[in-house]
A and B are shown apart, each in its own frame.
Chain A
Amino acid sequence: MDIKILGPGCPKCQKLEAMTRETLAALGRTAEVTHVTELDAMMQYPVMSTPALVVDGVVRVQGHLPRREDLEAWLRAG
């Protein structure tokens, strides 16, 4: 599973990364988590606002933090 967090380093983006890592650990799954901070790299995805979570190339959420249960569902399915 390939996970990307898009965000230029704002507090919400850090929070999203922390939430993702915690949820992965709670599910007992391992995945590559990368935090993309370059604007040009972010523009590769259909994303208008940050933070955004991309799981296996699919934008799951953007512009706000997800609910824990949604996050769990995405990470379990991925």
Chain B
Amino acid sequence: MTALQSGASSLASYLAAHVLLCLVPAFFVAGALSSLVPKESVTRWLGPAAPRWLAYPMAAVGGSLIAVCSCTVLPLFASIQKKGAGLGPAVTFLFFAPAGNILALSYTGVALGAEFAFARVFLSVVFGIGIGIAMATLFPETGRERAPDQPLAPAPRPARGVGPLLAALVALLLAGTLKLWPLEAILFSTSWPSPRLAALGTALSNLFPSDAARGEEGVTVHGLALIGALVAWGIVSWRGLAHVDDGVTRGTVAALSLTALMLLFAALRVGVDGEALRVTLTGRTAAVALVMGLVATLARRLDPFDARQWLWETWRFVRQIVPLLLVGVFVVGLVRVWIRPEWVHAVAGKNSLLANAAGVGFGIFMYFPTLVEVPVAKLFLSLGMHPGPLLAYLMADPELSLQSVLVISTLIGVRRTAGWVGLVAVFSLGAGLLWGARADGAGMGWLLLGALGWMAAIGVLVKTLAWLINHRSPLAKAHA
């Protein structure tokens, strides 16, 4: 019973606190990136004629644009590797896609803090490019024809008005989530007596108590109303957005209006104050309203075909990711009851090599659906896991799971897959140790020195291994 209650509590507080202002705009951004930004604008830099030094950063950009769906990631990975810029950039792309996309980053920022989000995006760039170059060094491709004389494919024209729309959507995401002064400032506040809602508030906090020590957030009256709104939004959107690519209906208009209302309501501050209900307008409320107006104006200027594709794609992301995410959050809450903080303390309470290795190992052997790594990380953090091992886990988990390793090995072979897994593990281990040292108060100079040392060690290791692999005796080569 307590387990079920904990699961429900985790789900409820998650829905109320994180989903709305963070994930709803992020889904619209992801939909716009996927449907309105032509993939050729990135893939042309990943073809056989593309210059090497540009291919790596462009592969990272491609990974963050093409985002979450593994069904676009794998074909693109295969074509970059076999027909395009080669194994190195393909690996960079593969690394960046699950970790560096807008959904993962904004969710990490809201759930674990902006610091972790920055660490994640920065390290994803470093890891992605570093691992890509290391893979290309370890497994050089001979005999694969490159066509340096072939001209680059012409740059495609992006759909009209996409740039401003994307900027406005990102602004909406920031206005809804950043914890900064002008957004937190109180503009206007009013309250009226409502004993019933006050009683409801008390009942809710008894049912779902907030416990800061265990990182459990309670459910408020505002939260309950938001959950109701979200369920209604899901139903209306199902009817209004699922077939939007065939034409805009009244259901579509209803779904979009409800989206706007819901975001506005989420940006209000609503709380029970004694026997009264207090509603507060903050800078956030005003900012969200303003930016939503801007988004609506810009969206109207889109070509109708483009706008429909955008909404359809957005809804597809929601349908594909949200159900699994909700199940994941519920299960995380359920499991929380049985995990004792002492265990987490014992295994990963300190920033030791072993603790970081445990973080990486957990990341490899556990498989979580897209984005569920974030609530899992939050659980560990609240149970006392040190930030170092936590980051090591967070870097390794989305990249490595038994399932993805199997799929990748069919594409590039067992040896290269082993190299990829090993490199991700070694990189994550180093990042975890350094991040943990930073949390323990190490100075910037030491961290920089540590990072350079780690990089140099990996470089020497990779060079040695590459020499061993590629300069074996003729006999061994004949066998291979």
Q: Which residue of B lies closest to A47 (CB)?
A: B79
- The answer to whether A8 and B245 have CB atoms under 8 Å apart is no
Judged by a CB distance under 8 angstroms, whether B341 is at the interface is: no
- The answer to whether B38 and A8 have CB atoms under 8 Å apart is no
Interface magnitude class on chain A: 10 to 19
A42 to B411, CA, bound (A): 13
Q: Which residue of B lies closest to A64 (CB)?
A: B35
Interface magnitude class on chain B: 20 to 34
- The answer to whether B82 and A48 have CB atoms under 8 Å apart is no
With A10-B72, A15-B245, A43-B83 in contact, is A48–B39 under 8 Å at CB? yes
Q: Tell me what chain B mostly uses at the interface: helix, strand, loop, or mixed.
A: helix
Q: Which residue of B lies closest to A66 (CB)?
A: B305
- Scoring A residues 47 to 78 as 1 if CB is less than 8 Å from chain B, else 0, what string do you get? 11110000000000011110100000000000
- The answer to whether A50 and B72 have CB atoms under 8 Å apart is yes
Judged by a CB distance under 8 angstroms, whether B278 is at the interface is: no
- A47 partner residues in chain B, CB cutoff 8 A: 79
A23 to B291, CA, bound (A): 40
- The answer to whether A48 and B43 have CB atoms under 8 Å apart is yes
Q: Measured between C-beta atoms, what is the minimum distance from B72 to chain A in Å?
A: 6
With A49-B43, A63-B40, A64-B38 in contact, is A39–B71 under 8 Å at CB? no
Of A9, A39, A48, A64, most B-chain CB atoms within 10 Å = A48
- B76 partner residues in chain A, CB cutoff 8 A: 48-49
- The answer to whether A10 and B69 have CB atoms under 8 Å apart is yes
- The answer to whether B74 and A9 have CB atoms under 8 Å apart is no
Judged by a CB distance under 8 angstroms, whether B436 is at the interface is: no
- A12 partner residues in chain B, CB cutoff 8 A: 316
A24 to B38, CA, bound (A): 26
Q: Which residue of A lies closest to B80 (CB)?
A: A48
Judged by a CB distance under 8 angstroms, whether B384 is at the interface is: no
With A39-B75, A48-B47 in contact, is A65–B245 under 8 Å at CB? yes
Judged by a CB distance under 8 angstroms, whether B46 is at the interface is: yes
Judged by a CB distance under 8 angstroms, whether A11 is at the interface is: yes
Contacting residues of chain A (24-38) with chain B, CB-CB under 8 angstroms: none
Q: Which residue of A lies closest to B79 (CB)?
A: A48
- A15 partner residues in chain B, CB cutoff 8 A: 245
Which 7 A-B pairs rank lowest in CB-CB distance, beginning with the nearest? A10-B71, A63-B39, A48-B43, A49-B39, A50-B75, A39-B78, A48-B79
- Using a CB–CB cutoff of 8 Å, the interface residues on chain B facing chain A are 35, 38-40, 43, 46-47, 66, 69, 71-72, 74-76, 78-80, 82-84, 245, 305, 309, 316, 411
8 pairs, A vs B, C-beta closer than 8 Å: A8-B71, A8-B74, A39-B75, A42-B79, A47-B79, A49-B75, A49-B79, A50-B75
Sample of 17 more A-B contacts, CB < 8 Å, known A9-B71, A11-B316, A64-B39: A8-B74, A10-B71, A39-B75, A39-B411, A43-B83, A47-B79, A48-B39, A48-B76, A48-B80, A48-B84, A49-B39, A49-B66, A49-B75, A49-B76, A63-B40, A64-B309, A65-B245
